[in-house]
Amino acid sequence: LGALMFGVLSIAAKQFSFRCGADREAVHEAGPRDLPGGYAVWGIAPMACCGTIFVGMFVSGPHVPAQSMRLEAVNKLLQESFLPAANLRIPDYIPEDRGDCEALWNYRVSQGEASAALWNESAIYQDCVGHSPLTHVMNRKVDATALWATGLNTLQLKDIHLEEPVDLSADSQLWKMTFSGMFRDMNIWTKVMLSAWGETPWLDDYMCCDKNFNFTVEVRMPCHEGRGFQRARLKFLHVDKPELKHSTCSDETDSSFCMEWVYGKADSVDPNLNEALGDFLSGKTGQLLMKTSDSTIVDLLEYVSSKLTDVVRLNTGDWCPHTLF
């Protein structure tokens, strides 16, 4: 509007200058002060008009409502968008195997699943993470070691729920997230020595777990203004009690057979076995590790807390979220 008015002003000034003098070269080009009303009408008035229109539209124009998200909407978004995307990426970010990788490699060589000629660190640790057994339980009667686990990348998340802090405006907060999932095909190699059996292993085979090994876990993430999210803590609300079993098959020329031994639930054999498994999964013993896109192995709980802090800092400028927007 202002540009249009000044355009009209310029044309009028030029026409006025041609009409006002017989000698065109002697007459200076007219400006706003030469028009009727002078600067007050042709200079100040257009600017005042534009300013009034702008202020009026800013005050009385339509307002865009704030795009706030309630907790219910956030949880719906997690269910409908995050879960499917996470389940698609889990095989890329969680190692397939975990534990004593060299022992696992040697076992696969003995079964013809790998070639001894390819023995090198790159091959051994391509899909496996770890240099020691997962966990070790020992008492006067039983010495049990979980040497390695396979199928960790068969994890599938089934449900997720976010719980916000009591006071979002506080400088110290506790965020909670509950999610459930299952391992579709996780197998743990277990070596069990019994005092009554001497040096002969009572069991040295894959044992555990059910095809669908279910769990429910609560993730607690403390956040302090000025420091951000601290290392997440896990609390398992439910873990399937793994059934200890293994099978052996024989295929000889005169006979072939398969036998399966079922020893019942882990806690019925030894309560410490189930407790040790829960401690490992929750990170009380060892670390929960993940593989990033550049194949770097990182602590999963530290990684999640660090990335959450980065996201909050980039979007709000604060260390902790103080609103759900």
Q: Which of 182, 208, 184 is nearest to 265 (CA)?
A: 208
Q: Which residue do the tokens 């095909």 mark? A: 185
- Crossing angle (nearest 10°) for helices 45-60 and 2-19: 170
Higher-pLDDT residue of 163 and 25 is 163
Q: Between residues 71 and 102, which one has the greater pLDDT? A: 102
- Highest mean pLDDT, choosing among 143-157, 229-243, 269-283, 300-314: 143-157
Place of tokens 């059934």: 243
Number of residues that make up the chain: 325
Residue 164 carries which side chain, given as an amino acid letter? E
End-to-end CA distance of the chain: 37
pLDDT at residue 122 above 90?
no
- Name the band, by pLDDT with cuts 50, 70 and 90, for residue 224: very high
Q: What is the pTM of this model?
A: 0.61
User: How far is the C-alpha of 162 from the C-alpha of 166, rounded, in Å?
Assistant: 13
The answer to whether 128 touches 161, Cβ cutoff 8 Å, is no
Least confident of 77-91, 115-129, 171-185, 200-214: 200-214
Q: How confident is the model at residue 175 (pLDDT cuts 50, 70, 90)?
A: very high
Instruction: Output the pLDDT for position 172.
Output: 93
Task: Dig out the tokens for 210 from the structure.
Answer: 């059910």
DSSP structure class, residue 12: H
φ/ψ (deg, to 5) at 224: -125, 130
254: CB partners within 8 A, 6+ apart: none
CB 204 within 8 A of CB 160: no
Task: Read off the tokens for 155.
Answer: 């994890």
Q: Cα separation of 185 and 113, whole Å? A: 18
Question: Mean pLDDT, the chain, as a whole number?
Answer: 74
- What average pLDDT does range 284-291 have in this prediction? 56
Is the separation of the CB atoms in 299 and 287 below 8 Å?
yes
List 218's β-bridge partners, or say none.
178, 235
The H-or-E segment that residue 102 falls in is helix 101-110
Q: What is the per-residue pLDDT across 17-72, written as a single tens digit (0 to 9) for each?
A: 444 444 444 444 555 556 565 555 566 666 666 666 666 666 666 655 545 567 88
Contact criterion met (CB below 8 Å) for 304 and 209: no
Nearest-angstrom CA–CA distance, 310 and 161: 21
The band of 6, judged by pLDDT with boundaries at 50, 70 and 90, is: very low
- Of the candidates 217, 143, 209, the residue with the CA atom closest to the CA atom of residue 176: 217
- Minimum mean pLDDT among 101-110, 166-175, 203-212, 303-312: which range? 203-212
Q: Which uninterrupted H or E stretch holds 133? A: none
What pLDDT, on the 0 to 100 scale, is given for residue 306? 86
If you ran DSSP here, which 8-state letter would residue 283 be given?
Answer: T
C-alpha 271/C-alpha 290 separation (Å) is 29
Q: What tokens does 134 get?
A: 């997962």
Q: What is the pLDDT of residue 190?
A: 86
Query: Rounded mean pLDDT of 270-288?
Result: 52
